Amino acid sequence: MIVRDLANRRAVALAAAATAAVLLAATGCSSSGSSASAGGSAASGKNLTFVAGKTGDPFYITMKCGATAEAKKLGYSFNATGSADWSVPEQVSSVNSVTATRPKGVLISPVDPNSLAAPIKTLQSAGAKVAIVDTSLTDGSIGVTHISSNNQQGGQKAAETLAKLTGDQGEVVVLTPDLTTVTTNARIDGFKQELTAKHPNVKIVDIRQVGDSAQGAASAVSAVLAAHPGLVGVFTANSQTGEGVSTGLKNAGKQGQIKVVSFDAGPQQVQALKNGAVDALISQDPYGIGQQAVDQLDAALTGKQVTATLQTDLAGITRDNLDDPSIARFLYKADCGS
């Protein structure tokens, strides 16, 4: 805040009080309740913040865990914030609050490819180095690094797996939270391309937006089954739709009869896989995304070379390989202690 009249002590005092109030409010906005400090501190300028797409989602919890551990290792203080819902207005508010705290580095998963561009630019103008993680912005010039899964490849893996499960024929549907999020759209594109190129007898008969909640996906199942009584398979494009579809199929008495391949590997999804409600999971590596984002921010802040674009591994998980030690890092966490 610029103090225009240095001679006016009362104005200076009021300005300082207002700034303190903004900082206090921004700190109170953290819905994750998580921070890590080891060696570094906000006072020394070694402070990082993570703005999650959805704070209660196991994917973002796991990403926060990876970022927290790496920040501690490198001597940064660390704070995580965001909103409980996948919401543009709420995330814009979170970014604005974070900007007021003037962190040195920020990891952010934009919930919209266009609406978050302006507030993130403002964040950068305030001096923060920004890592765009998981999702992306239409303006690729924003951010010093961009780290995500190869979502198109994940969609291809899902199509290949579902084709095998259904005997390489029949009608399938895609359930997605929306058709605006870059990551889920890439998964759907990969899924469609793989079926068209290699599995022409597996037909996508519906791509349905169900909202970013398990309840929305569960409710949509009955309508999907009514519209497509010959359905043999479902691909769900994220964790919430994956959690909901198994409930919907169970309620309809179709669990086990219709094959399900779901993106992500949250605790509920893993349990559904164990129980036979879901047949396969296409899992990302959110822990690794968090680690690498902190590493790239550290490089940007210390004058080292920064990698502009990174893509992390995915894994196909079935009941056959669930207990394989190599799969453990692809299973998402409910909290950083698990």
Per-residue pLDDT at 19? 38
Structure tokens of 260? 């399900």
Residue type, 4: R
- The pLDDT of 245-263, averaged and rounded, is 93
Per-residue pLDDT at 44? 53
pLDDT exceeds 50 at position 2:
no
Q: Which CATH number fits domain 31-143+285-312: 3.40.50.2300, 3.40.309.10, 3.40.50.300, 2.60.40.10?
A: 3.40.50.2300
Per-residue pLDDT at 290? 98
Residue pair 224/241 in contact by the 8 Å Cβ criterion: no
Exposed / middle / buried, residue 17 (Cβ in 10 Å: 0-12, 13-18, 19+): exposed
For residues 245 and 84, what is the distance between their CA atoms, to the nearest angstrom?
21
Per-residue pLDDT at 12? 34
Q: Domain map of the chain by residue range?
A: 31-143+285-312, 151-283
Residue pair 175/236 in contact by the 8 Å Cβ criterion: yes
Q: Which value, to the nearest 10 degrees, does the dihedral of the CA atoms of residues 28, 34, 40, 46 take?
A: -60
Structure tokens of 193? 């391309």
Tell whether domain 151-283 is in CATH 3.40.50.2300. yes
User: What distances in angstroms separate CA 286 from CA 64, 71, 147, 260, 292, one per listed residue?
Assistant: 8, 15, 10, 22, 10
Structure tokens of 299? 């490089």
DSSP string, 120-152: HHHHHHTT-EEEEESS--S-TTSSSEEEEE-HH
Cα distance between the two ends of the chain: 42
CB count, 10 Å around CB of 321? Answer: 12
Exposed / middle / buried, residue 75 (Cβ in 10 Å: 0-12, 13-18, 19+): middle
> 163-206, pLDDT tens digit by residue?
999 999 999 999 999 998 999 999 999 999 999 999 999 999 99
Residues in CB range of 287: below 8 A, 6 or more apart: 62, 63, 65, 66, 329, 333
Q: Do domains 31-143+285-312 and 151-283 have the same CATH topology?
A: yes
Q: Which residue has 């394989």 as its token pair?
A: 324
pLDDT exceeds 50 at position 133:
yes
More confident: 168 or 36:
168
